[in-house]
Structure 1
């Protein structure tokens, strides 16, 4: 999947500056796509030159002027075309931590435990952010009420997938740490 598709998905939420996209990316699409601010700015420039987004300048008094981007009709058509395409094969896991865990028996078990602990903490923090986003989206409604009445349900469905992923990271981290502790005690 190209970054542009994730950017267009984020812009479905409405007009945004590059800064707002970079900041909000974590809340809107980071549960399935990561990008640096520099990557976002470069992609917005390309998309603008291709007519997929339009930018307007907003003058600010005490700050530099900012450019707000929105999808054009061509951008919306590109989103529709992208959604209609069959998806690629599911993503394969490519995780350096898992390579380190694979080598744990001949390496430094303490270093592997530290890395897994960091992953567990990262997953817990991300899950907490996702929970806050979930509460904001629900805004006092039940999930059933949200699905029946929300203008867009895609962001909530992808959020649920991100939450599931982080819960599994937590579950696996606990299991791996427990087994590594048992292994270290047996040595």
Structure 2
């Protein structure tokens, strides 16, 4: 999937600056698509040149001027075409799993530390995702939100991000327990 599709999906929420989009990516889209601010700004320039988005300059008195981006009709059409295509199969490419695969030939304490770091990262993301979930629900129950919200895509992708991080945490705990058991047996 191209970054542009994630940007266009984020712009469905409405007009946004590059800075706003970077924050949006970090707060919500990051549970399924990572991008640095530099990548975002480069992609915004390309998308504007291709007519998928338009920029509007907002002059500010005490701050630098900013550009607000919005989807064009061509951008909405491109996003509609993208959603109609069957998705490519997902593949895991995870450096930590390569290290775990080689743990018997390597530094098992370094691998343990990396697994613990992954678990801490998952816990932190879960806490952030829970705050976002509460904000999205805005006092409604989940069924009320799913029935009444203008857009449910952000909530559905958030649920997937939560499930992904819960599984990362479960796996990390299981892997650490297995490594501990192995170390105990080998003594």
Matched, 1:79 2:75: no
Structure 2 counterpart of 1:32: 32
Matched, 1:11 2:8: no
Q: Offset at 1:27?
A: 2.0
Structure 2 counterpart of 1:112: 111
Structure 2 counterpart of 1:41: 41
Structure 1 counterpart of 2:137: 138
Q: Secondary structure at the match of 2:158?
A: helix
Length, aligned pairs only: 186
Give the whole-Å Cα distance in 1 for the aligned partners of 2:46 and 2:183. 52
Matched, 1:2 2:10: no
Unaligned 5+ residue runs, structure 1? none
Unaligned 5+ residue runs, structure 2? none
Matched, 1:182 2:163: no
Structure 1 counterpart of 2:170: 171
Give the whole-Å Cα distance in 2 for the aligned partners of 1:110 and 1:87. 39
Q: Offset at 1:62?
A: 2.0
Give the whole-Å Cα distance in 2 for the aligned partners of 1:125 and 1:44. 29
Give the whole-Å Cα distance in 2 for the aligned partners of 1:116 and 1:31. 19
Q: Offset at 1:30?
A: 1.0
Deviates more, 1:80-89 or 1:112-121: 80-89
Query: Contact (CA 8 Å) 1:109, 1:184: kept in 2 or not?
Result: no
Matched, 1:102 2:96: no
Structure 2 counterpart of 1:63: 63
